[in-house]
Amino acid sequence: MKVRRNVRAVLLDGDHLLFLRRGWPDGPTYFTTVGGGVEPYDADLEVALRREAMEEIGATLGPVAEFLTVTEPGERVTVVQHYFRADVLEMDLDRRNGPEMDDPDIGNFSPVRVALDVTALTALELQPTELADYLREHIGEWRP
Structural domain count of the chain = 1
Q: What is residue 104's predicted lDDT score, i.e. its pLDDT?
A: 58
Q: What is the value of pTM for the model shown?
A: 0.90
| Residue 125: domain span | 2-141
Chain-wide mean pLDDT for the chain? 90
Per-residue model confidence as pLDDT tens digits over 24-74:
777 788 899 999 999 999 999 999 999 999 999 999 999 999 999 999 999
Tell me the C-alpha to C-alpha distance, in Å, between residue 67 and each of 24, 84, 98, 135: 30, 6, 25, 10
Specify the CATH number for the domain of residue 74. Answer: 3.90.79.10
